[in-house]
Structure 1
C-alpha cells in the first residue's frame, strides 16, 4: 500500500476518556506538542470537535488512498501506551 500522506510525518495516539484511542498524523516539521495533528480516525475527529479545536498542521492525504494501515499503527501505539501505563 502506498504511503497515504503527501509529506513525511509521524502517527500519534492519545487516549481520550470518552471516545477512546484517537489517532493523529503530524507532518515531521510539526510534531511537537504545540501543534494539533490531523485526526485520522473517528475518535480523534470527535475529540477535536468536542473540544472546539482545529488541527493546525499542513497536510494532504493522497486522493483515493486508504488510511486503514495508518490507523492500525496508531491503535497499536495506544495499546502499547496502555500496557506501559497500566501493565495490562
Structure 2
C-alpha cells in the first residue's frame, strides 16, 4: 500500500498519485516484471490497474485490455520510485524477476 502521507518518509520524489492505493506486480513471460497502480477500492481481480512500466503497458496491449480504474497519476509525475517499489514487490513474490 502507498499513501501520500507516508511516501515522503521513504522516498525522495514527490508522491506521484492522486490518491492512496496499491502498487502491484505480475510477471509476463515475454515482457518481464509488470508494475501497476490500483487506487484504494480497485484492487480486486476484475480491476485492471494503471501500468507503471513498459512491461505492464505491453502486457495489457497484447491481451487487448485497458485499465478500468480511475486514472490516478499526477500530471508530470516522476514514476521512477513507484516502479522500483513494484519491482521490489516482484522480487519478494517471484524471486529475482
Question: Under a length normalisation based on structure 1, what TM-score does the superposition of the two structures give?
Answer: 0.90
Unaligned runs of 5+ in 2: 1-12
Provide Cα deviations, 1:38-83, integer angstroms capped at 9, x if missing partner: 0010000000000000110002311221000000000011111123
1:34 deviates by 1.1
Superposed CA RMSD in Å reads 1.3
Deviations 1:8-54 (CA, angstroms, capped at 9, x unpaired)? 11000001111000000000110111100000100000000000001
Q: Match for residue 74 of structure 2?
A: 62
Segments of structure 1 that go 5 or more residues without pairing to the other structure are none
After the TM superposition, which segments of 4 or more aligned residues of structure 1 sit over 4 Å from their partners? none
Q: What TM-score comes out, normalization by structure 2 length?
A: 0.82
Q: How many residues align?
A: 84
- The aligned counterpart of 2:19 is 7
